[in-house]
Amino acid sequence: MEETEEEKKDEADYKRLHSFPLIRHSDMPEEMRVETMELCVTACEKHSTNNESAAKMIKETMDKKFGSSWHVVIGEGFGFEITHEVKNLLYMFFGGSLAVCVWKCS
């Protein structure tokens, strides 16, 4: 069966909608937030079948670039309550239901 033009358009719209990062909360400075968001998207795309590897990539890069003590959680169904340093938190969604939380805690 061939896809109709409407089905192809719907699929393209779905992919575009669910591949755009959605920032839910961030208190990071603008430059750090943009770099962190791009890093998260890159890691989640590169390790699309392994959230642990994506989290490790994000953490190691953040530790090198912005100093140590960064923490990363990636998944689809979790709750959390954290303490973090001011201006060092990013919470976003990517790929529809994949949540990414990055924070620094000394």
- pLDDT tens track for 10-32: 665 555 445 678 899 999 999 99
Tokens of 13: 């719209």
Please tell me the predicted confidence (pLDDT) of residue 97.
Answer: 83
* Structural domain 2-105, CATH architecture: 2-Layer Sandwich (3.30)
The DSSP element (H or E) to which 24 belongs, if any, is strand 22-26
Which residues on neighbouring strands pair with residue 89, listed in sequence order? 103
Share of the chain above pLDDT 70, in %: 84
Please tell me the predicted confidence (pLDDT) of residue 38.
Answer: 95
45, amino acid identity: E
Strands 70-75 and 22-26: unpaired
Q: What average pLDDT is seen over the chain? A: 87
Share of the chain above pLDDT 90, in %: 62
Tens digits of residue pLDDT in 64-79: 999 999 999 999 988 8
